Amino acid sequence: FTFIQLGHNVGKRKAQIAAIRLSSGAFVLSVDSDTTLAADVIAKLTVTMRNSAVGAAMGQLTASNRSDTWLTRLIDMEYWLACNEERAAQARFGAVMCCCGPCAMYRRSSLLSLLDQYETQLFRGKPSDFGEDRHLTILMLKAGFRTEYVPDAIAATVVPDRLGPYLRQQLRWARSTFRDTLLALRLLPSLDSYLTLDVVGQNLGPLLLALAVITGLAELIATGTVPWATAMIIATMT
């Protein structure tokens, strides 16, 4: 093992880049510090990566602290849906839109060719310090590689057990989703039409839900009547 100690906390992106540039071998595995991998994860991801058309592959995420609180149980369910419905569907078309950081394997030769783009990404004129996983996945797709999901490569990660940290995490992820969708839009013509539906749904769904909630509250305040129609729409979307 080679351990790299940086002079100070430079953030996830620059730490990744430092490690990748000093790495060797065909593949690079990215794992978060609070994640525990099943014994066969590397072997199962490597089988998928043997296809030279694949640039990245992710495993299935579970909450290692699932039993702690009601919130961790819900997040574990959310992870199951995100992996086994959303990512699994995207993988049918070779275009997982975000290979999640707790467990993602990349083709090293492809990574090296993308590092400059990855390192110099700007957001509002400043170097970006969030959304690393999604952006790196989009760069892989832009370079013409497939991105895959391997459901039997299990990685257990610690999830927030309180509402405040969870909401801050979700805000970071939402910012990344909306920002990198602008990059993904240029990709969509070269991908299956299902991916267009998926990307549009991911971005419009939350906005329409927020609009429905605001409309319902406005009707309740303005008229004093319960907006049953809006409540039914929200319940149906949920």
* pTM reported for the whole predicted model: 0.86
Kindly tell me the sign of the dihedral angle through the C-alpha atoms of 173, 176, 182, 185.
negative
Give domain limits for the chain: 12-191, 201-237
Superfamily grouping for domain 12-191? Spore Coat Polysaccharide Biosynthesis Protein SpsA; Chain A (3.90.550.10)
Amino acid identity, position 84: N
- The alpha helices in 67-131, defined as continuous H runs, are 70-81, 88-91, 108-119
Spell out the per-residue pLDDT of the chain, length 238, in tens: 889 999 899 888 899 999 999 999 999 999 999 999 999 999 999 999 999 999 999 999 999 999 999 999 999 999 999 999 999 999 999 999 999 989 999 999 999 999 888 888 877 777 777 788 998 999 999 999 999 999 999 999 999 999 999 999 998 888 888 888 877 888 888 889 999 998 888 888 888 888 888 988 998 899 888 888 888 888 887 7
Kindly tell me the sign of the dihedral angle through the C-alpha atoms of 77, 72, 34, 64.
negative
